[in-house]
Structure 1
Amino acid sequence: MAGGWTRDGATQEQIDASVEDAVQQARSQLNQGESLAHCEECGCAIPKARREAIPGVRMCVQCQQQLEKQQTASSGINRRGSKDSQLR
């Protein structure tokens, strides 16, 4: 049930669009191709078990954790259709 100026189902469409955006972003970040033997950031050897578990891996665990921490800090909340985003 929509309220105010929205039509019925608009809230669910907004949720579905947000989920689809998140799925597309996650898929775009998947590694592809051959795994590297050494980290492209620090040059440390990447263990064979990690290369086999994650096809296309390009970084050691430490560098990957740092990258993910930076990405998490810089990514905001998806405010598609919210009043806050319309005011900006």
Structure 2
Amino acid sequence: MAILYDDKYHLHLGYYEDNCDYESIAFKRQSEDVWDVFFDFKGYGINNITLENELTLQPYGTRIFSIDNKEVDYDIGVQQFKRLLFINKII
């Protein structure tokens, strides 16, 4: 079953410290209170560190994590994005 997203609800999450400029985008699922966050590894010239069968949404990239909540908090989303970049030695 394909996941459908509500195109009225999306949020850009960025990391702009230490001369870096990385951005991901979160989309709200239509049928549930979940936000899926996508990152375009190829667009940044980075090897994709996600599972091979992970969901990819063109042109936004590959899903890197999800946030289970009706509303997404920008600061929490950015912290999770920054953590993923750090753990995977991107920053």
Q: Give the TM-score normalised by structure 1.
A: 0.27
More strand by share: 2
Task: State the structure with more CA Rg.
Answer: 1
Q: Give the TM-score normalised by structure 2.
A: 0.26
